[in-house]
Structure 1
Amino acid sequence: MPVVLDPDAAAVYKAFQEAGRPAYETLTAPEAREFYRAARVVSNPEPPALESSKPIAIPAPHGAIPARIYTPKTLRKSNGLAPCLVFLHGGGWVIGDLDTHEVACQKLAHEGELIVISVDYRLAPEHRFPAAVDDAVTATQWVAANAKQLGVDAARIVVGGDSAGGNLAAVVALTARDGGLKLAGQLLVYPATEFARTHASHREPETSVLLTHSVIPWFAAQYLGDADGSDWRASPARAKSFAGLPPAYVLTAGADPLRDEGDEYAKLLKDAGVAVTYRHFPGQFHGFFTMGKLLNQANVAVTEISAWLKTLG
């Protein structure tokens, strides 16, 4: 049975089809990045007014990881320190950057009343797996180690992201647990969790705008190269244990090839005793989260996630 899109999502899907936009898998990675970056102009909602938005450079073995720190006008401070969301953008590990997800991060900072640090991890195919994982882990560890100087409460750091960023966030949460870094939560917005692509949602009629059945293998090939997708750092659903992980917010979309992966991952976490808030948007497609100008459900998602972030302290 095909998934029925919400009327607004169906209209956006039709508009994308009629626009004659080239499929990402027919482009080079740099060309795909430009198309993805350009789309934000028509789909991102108006940004809220913040106290500040500043570039920062996070030290890493290969040099520095660019990042951006968003500080809202109202912060939930405790002893002068605020909670923080380390955000990892989506884009199949190939496209996406600080700009494509800027408004989403700004809205989360504003509504969640917390500091958001968006991380510009290295992209494939120039930097294949596990470069993105290494950068995501390094950035999160650096934020924790330098929390006080950043105005961040080290006990209230959450890692999160959408799609490929959700994949990285799940891996960071696992790595932090194993390394003794206690995170306050993990935000997984339609995360990719399993490279095998055997779930039923990978065989449904096409209803996604940004993540088609044909582009998924292209993203995977760009990211993994000759690496093994069964490595838990690529497919976090293959981790040996999910016990002891921080509370999770898992969001899935009905018209999304990754829907069943996210649903399964939420169950794996729950079965391991992890506190899970699960939210399903049945009539939306993969990628809707950043499209608040066109899809009001994206704004609903931001508001609900912000409310969840506040429950973590």
Structure 2
Amino acid sequence: MPLKSDIHINVAKFEPSNTSAGTAKANEDLINLLRDGPKWFEMGASKYREMRDAGKTPIPKPKLLPDGLDIEIPSCDSDRAIPCRLVYPSWRKTIEERKKTRAIGYLIHGGGWVLGDQNSADILLQFYADAGDLAIVSVGYRLAPEYPFPCGPNDCIDVGEYLVKNGEGVFGSSLRFIGGESAGAHLSLLVAFHLLKTLPDFELSGLILHCGIYDLTMLPQCRNFVRPNLILDHNLTRKFVDAFLPGISDEQKKHPLISPYYEDLEGFRGRLPSALFTCGTEDPLLDDSVTMATKWMMVGGEAVVKIYTGAPHAFIHMKDKLKEAIDAQEDTKTWIKDCMANL
């Protein structure tokens, strides 16, 4: 009888030939759509953000839902507040009803620490809220290059601490979920590790980590990925990282406060929440999800890893183009419900 491995991978999920014809075509359409569009690193991030907000970039302008609320959460800096977006389950319309949500979810948007804001993903916020009967808070953290590291992470930590300490009083429930995609998944891990270190009684039920980057020196999949204009490739990742971490050496990038991949997870044994890692195989950050999830399980944490063959970076937002986005959202809903069943 052959020796059995202690680690198992569904190899078929990573086989390029298993990419569906529809997904392959959608990827080519994305490449063609983005090839000649404006580039934030050529025109300047601020100008590009203005164009995106005006609907003048190939990526559609985010849709705001009428029931979403604009709120502010105090910063540790005494002279300012942090803008946030708050979305409740669609069936909870009154203040009294909204105080009965079962838990708080905290979403941190992606965009390479350079793009996006608290208004970037109302549709996804509503999906999460309805999936688990959650009050979802989205943070508008400060963006690079105007505000490089540690400004954005500090804002995200400030909001996380506020939700832990004031969730019951302000929102009627406690913080149980943190998550995001891409840079938002990176920031989610930084926040979670900070809260677990500084608040010994804090219990987190789940982390939603879509296509995150956890080693900012960039792992092999990222370094070797050369499909320009398929949302993200090595060169664009480098430009985002350089804007976020100007003048920071690769050795400095390995500090756990910058790259959560290097965090000593042994110190969290027995306290790590369940974590959902999702990623497509046409994503330069695939290695980050696979390796981080493995490290998670090595210290006894529950990690659910879902791989979507042929899907590009940030595909979770592409329900109108990719079946894999529909599958990923349904998988996320199932995982949220599983976590809620354990509360």
Pairwise same-fold verdict (TM > 0.5): yes
Residue 211 in structure 1 maps to residue 247 in structure 2:
no
Residues 50-129 of structure 1 mapped to structure 2, 5 A cutoff:
52-62=67-77, 63-74=80-91, 80-129=100-149
Larger radius of gyration: 2
Q: CA deviation at 1:233?
A: 1.9
Following TM superposition, by how much is the alpha carbon of 1:148 offset from its aligned partner in structure 2, in angstroms? 1.8
CA distance in 2, matches of 1:294, 1:107: 18
Query: Taking structure 1 as reference, are residues 259 and 158 closer, same or farther at Cα in structure 2, changes over 3 Å only?
Result: same
Q: Give the match for residue 177 of structure 2.
A: 158
Residue identity opposite 2:305 in structure 1: Y
Match of 1:236 in 2: 260
> CA separation of 1:300/1:66 partners in 2, compared to 1, >3 Å: closer, same or farther?
same
State the Cα distance separating 1:200 from its structure 2 match. 3.3
- Where does the alignment leave 5 or more consecutive residues of structure 2 unmatched? 1-13
Over the aligned positions, Cα root-mean-square deviation in angstroms equals 2.7
Assess if the C-alpha contact under 8 Å between 2:76 and 2:158 holds in 1: no
Secondary structure at the counterpart of residue 155 of structure 2: helix
Change (3 A) 1:257 1:240: same
State the shift of 1:61 in Å: 2.5
> Aligned partners of 1:299, 1:34: CA distance in 2, in Å?
29
Question: Does 2:324 match 1:297?
Answer: yes
Distance 1:27 1:137, change over 3 A: same
Q: 1:205 to 1:297 in 2, by over 3 A?
A: same
Deviation at residue 205 of structure 1 after TM alignment: 3.8
| Greater mean alpha carbon deviation, residues 6-15 or residues 187-196 | 6-15
Aligned 8 A contact 1:66 1:119 in 2 = yes
Percent identity, aligned pairs only, is 24
The aligned counterpart of 1:282 is 309
* Distance in 2 separating the partners of 1:40 and 1:64: 32
- Alignment partner, residue 7 of structure 1: 21
Which runs of 4 or more aligned residues in structure 1 lie more than 6 Å from their structure 2 counterparts after TM superposition? Answer: none
1:223 paired to 2:244: yes
Cα distance between partner residues in 1 of 2:334 and 2:316: 16
User: In structure 1, what is the Cα distance between the partners aligned to 2:26 and 2:314?
Assistant: 11
User: Cα gap change, 1:112/1:304 in structure 2, threshold over 3 Å: closer, same or farther?
Assistant: farther
- Map of 2:191 onto structure 1: 172
- The structure with the greater share of residues assigned to strand is 1
Aligned length: 308
- Maintained 8 Å contact 1:6/1:284: no
Secondary structure, counterpart of 1:294 in structure 2: coil
The answer to whether 1:140 aligns with 2:160 is yes
Query: Could you tell me whether the CA contact under 8 Å between 2:131 and 2:337 is conserved in 1?
Result: no
Give the CA deviation at 1:123. 0.5
Question: Does the 8 Å CA contact 2:280/2:286 hold for their aligned counterparts?
Answer: yes
Per-residue displacement from partner, 1:16-53 (whole Å, max 9, x unpaired)?
33342134433311233345553587497x88x88x31
Q: Structure 2: how far apart are the matches of 1:68 and 1:79? A: 16
Q: Who is 2:204 aligned against?
A: 183
- Structure 2 match to 1:26: 42
**Aligned equivalent of 2:31:** 17
User: Does the 8 Å CA contact 1:89/1:162 hold for their aligned counterparts?
Assistant: yes
Distance in structure 2 (CA, Å) of the matches to 1:226 and 1:265: 26
Partner of 1:311 in structure 2? 338
1:279 partner letter: K
Q: Choose from 262, 266, 273 the match for 1:246.
A: 273
AA of the residue aligned to 1:93: W
Q: Under a length normalisation based on structure 2, what TM-score does the superposition of the two structures give? A: 0.81
